[in-house]
A and B are shown apart, each in its own frame.
Chain A
Amino acid sequence: MKKAILICTCSFACPSMKDIDFAELSEKIRLEIPEASYMVLHPRICERNGEEMMADLLKEGVIYYTIACKPEKQEKLLRDGFQKAGVIMERDKNWVPISVQFKNTDQVFEEIERALKNGGE
């Protein structure tokens, strides 16, 4: 299945994400993780603007790796975006949440890399 990465930067303002350089992270992903077909960086995917983006973007047949807050939190916050797109959100099938909280750029990158390289085809 095609793999796509949605990075939520939480307005570049979340204290729990202060050790992440999103500019560096997104370039590293683009250059070093060819398994990802594309990546989108958005400041707040859990709100209207982000949900509209998801409504336009999300399709069946793609695995979305969402890089944001804790998975349990994402599960509550991102459900509406999937629903607006008419895609059923199924964890580890078409949706893989990755938490960036309290991690640095390298740790997050490694986790994303591991998930995409090991994740099912």
Chain B
Amino acid sequence: MASNSYMGIPREKIPWYPAVDENACTKCSTCLDFCANDVFEQGEGSVEVVRPYNCVVGCSSCQNVCPSGAIRFPDMRQFVETLKKLREEYRNK
């Protein structure tokens, strides 16, 4: 029920997921352990976002637990506008 659409919009059309700053990431694994949805995996230089569409739309809690401030999310206000447009687009589909 939950994983592949959000408010009637296919999940993979929604640009919400974390971005990891590879220069800031210390590969401490905190985010890996914290997120239940296998969004991250340990990569070469830093943790990598390997399953972005597993990220819960609107969740940004891993940002708060990263001790290095290496995780970023889209700006919420802009994102709400994007979501409004997507809803219009998918409303009648």
Contact = CB atoms under 8 A, between A and B. Distances in A.
Interface residues of B, number: 16
Interface string A1-34: 0000000001111111111110000000000000
Contacts, number: 51
A21 B6 CA distance: 15
B65 interface: yes
Given A18-B1, A77-B61, A13 B36 contact: no
Interface in B42-92: 54, 56-59, 61, 64-65
Contacts of A11: 6, 56-59
Interface of A: 10-21, 44, 46, 69-70, 73, 76-77, 101-102
Interface of B: 1-3, 6, 11, 34, 36-37, 54, 56-59, 61, 64-65
5 contacts: A11-B58, A13-B2, A13-B3, A13-B56, A13-B58
